[in-house]
Amino acid sequence: MKWNKSVAIIYIALMIVLTACNISKPEDKQNKDLEVYGMSSALGSAGNDLDKTKFSYTIPITNNSDEDIYIEWMEPVLGDKVSNRVLSSDLRINVQNKVIPEESLEIAGEIILDTKGLTKQQITELEPFITEIVIDCQKVIELNWQK
């Protein structure tokens, strides 16, 4: 079988790509101290006003570090479809609680939405309601002074 120049170049390029995929690269070091493994949420009426909907949520935050972490506050980041419908004045939740290693803390909140003129189906199509969360926290490091 004769190899022409273009077949050889393709073969070499393919070998480089396949070899590059197998080279182990150091992982980007990410902050894995706090993690969220799920979220529960519910939609319901906001009082007697049928033009408003209450979105309630609970987010468990797990401390995967070796030290205690003190969470000052948590604020949800809303999805594009829902952010312009928010009637709640402040989404930030003051937590002010310590999470010890390998334990979780559940943070619950609710957001009031203007859903005037929307059907139940159209309201659910606003998902995702929350896309991220912002947490302000501090690590607590105990000092073990020995005499």
Amino acid letter, residue 116: K
* Percentage with pLDDT > 70 across the chain: 78
pLDDT in tens, 39-84: 999 999 888 888 999 999 999 999 999 999 999 999 999 999 999 9
For residues 34 and 62, the answer to whether their CB atoms sit within 8 Å is yes
Domain boundaries, the chain: 34-140
Q: How many CA atoms lie within 13 A of 88 on its CB side?
A: 19
The model's pTM is 0.73
- In the CATH scheme, what is the code of domain 34-140? 2.60.40
Q: How far apart are CA 82 and CA 78, in angstroms?
A: 7
